[in-house]
Structure 1
Amino acid sequence: MSNNDIVPGFDEEKDESLKIRLQKIDGTEGCLVLYLTGYIDTYNSNFFQKRVNRAIEAGYTKLIFHCSGLNYVSSTGIGSFTAFLKAVKPRSGDLVLLEIQPKVYEVFQLLGFAQFFNIKDNLDEAVEFFSKGSASSDTDIFPKIFKCPICSTRLRASKPGRFRCSNCKTILAIDNSGQIFLG
């Protein structure tokens, strides 16, 4: 099955710096794996965003980015992942990152984004996250223990809302699904 069979017109554009192979997950509605090979930077991030947005418009809101073949992501590339998260959340979707190479994960951490994304070790865990994730409620999520995206202090949120990190005083917000945001 080609990418165009899964998402019509997906392969209309090509960029040798970033290859994307799609795999539909049967049994989990709207779930799509995107195998990324190459890199994402300022020059190809627009290409990356257009292709993934095409998948979102086709009804795929549970996105699994398989990153084992991704050897570099710039801050612009990380901005793309953030844009996808904003696009799928209102549609009851989410995204998961898999098998991130250490040097790529380091960029996510340095920019404070590692906390915002669901990072899983393998495809089975990612699919399971979406299978049971749709049935979760606030009681499953809270209290939530997490690290401050700025100073890595362990924090505990008993409910959604805004609060201040006890260590670095950064203002954080946590939504009903347990996602943490700055401000």
Structure 2
Amino acid sequence: MSSNNEIVPGFDEEKDESLKIRLQKIEGAEGVLVLYLNGYIDTYNSNFFQKRVNRAIETGFTKLIFQCNGLTYVSSTGIGSFTAFLKAVKPRSGDLVLLEIQPKVYEVFQLLGFSQFFNIKDNIDEAVDFFKKGASSQASDAFPKIFRCPICSTKLKASKPGRFRCSNCKTILAIDNSGQIFLG
């Protein structure tokens, strides 16, 4: 098994006891990286988390699978980190998938309205298949898309991909070719 530093040079330069990350490269799936998360993500360690994952993205891994079964807690700041990763990989034809989210962690995603932004799969095989089939090739049948604003829950309709404002709270939203919605 490869060490983290062999997969992403310098990945383990910093350590944080509250969050351990183990990397696994998927052979035969270019740009796909599994990140096994163990611990919690909060305001105090989210900067550490973002630096580590951004290092992987800069190394060329744009299809990220977060194995979350060892993740016991995520604050709203931690969820903001996942959103930042999504914004970083989307322009590079990437995406991210979350696996095996603990119920109380998933509840935070739902309460903040972010569960609809992320691809959530049951196991690694499903996640790898998602990337091998081409995450963004599911475009044309996604529109028109009716959804709720993640901030104010206003019902909205998008006829095509792009950026627009919520008619109620004026939050800037973006919708990609596959119909996924994210802030910004």
Q: TM-score, normalised by structure 2?
A: 0.86
- Let me know the Cα RMSD of the aligned residues: 2.3
Match of 2:31 in 1: 30
Residue 136 to residue 12, structure 1, CA distance change in 2 (3 Å): same
Q: Secondary structure at the match of 2:133?
A: helix
Indicate the residue corresponding to 1:175 in structure 2. 176
The change in CA–CA distance for 1:182 and 1:8 in structure 2 (over 3 A counts) is closer
User: How far 1:179 sits from its partner (Å)?
Assistant: 1.7
2:136–2:178 Cα contact (<8 Å) kept = no
CA distance in 1, matches of 2:49, 2:166: 35
Do structure 1's residue 61 and structure 2's residue 62 form an aligned pair?
yes
Residue of structure 2 in register with 1:52 after alignment: 53
3-state SS of 2:101 partner: coil
Q: Deviations over 1:7-41 (max 9, x none)?
A: 11111111110000101011110000000000000
Q: Deviations over 1:50-79 (max 9, x none)?
A: 110110111000000000000000011111
CA 1:105–1:176: 2 relative to 1, 3 Å:
same
The offset of 1:49, in angstroms, is 0.6
Give the aligned residue type for 1:26.
E
Give 1:84 shift: 0.7
Residues 114 and 149 in structure 1, CA contact (< 8 A), matched pair in contact too: no
Equivalent-residue separation in structure 1 for 2:125 and 2:99 (angstroms): 10
Aligned length: 180
1:117 corresponds in structure 2 to 118
**Percentage of matched positions with identical amino acids:** 83
- Aligned 1:29-178 pairs, distance under 5 A: 29-134=30-135, 136-144=137-145, 146=147, 148-149=149-150, 157-161=158-162, 162=164, 169=168, 173-178=174-179
Aligned-partner Cα distance in 1 for 2:166–2:16: 43
Greater Cα offset, 124-133 or 150-159: 150-159
Aligned-partner Cα distance in 1 for 2:110–2:136: 29
Q: Which runs of 4+ in 1 moved over 6 A?
A: 151-156
Distance apart, 1:176 and its partner CA: 2.2
CA distance in 2 between counterparts of 1:130 and 1:141 reads: 18
Cα separation, 2, equivalents of 1:163 and 1:74: 26
**What secondary structure, in the 3-state scheme, does the structure 1 residue paired with 2:38 have?**
strand
1:96-132 deviations in whole A, cap 9, x for unaligned?
1110001001111111111111111111111111111
Inter-partner Cα distance in structure 1 for 2:74 and 2:38: 11
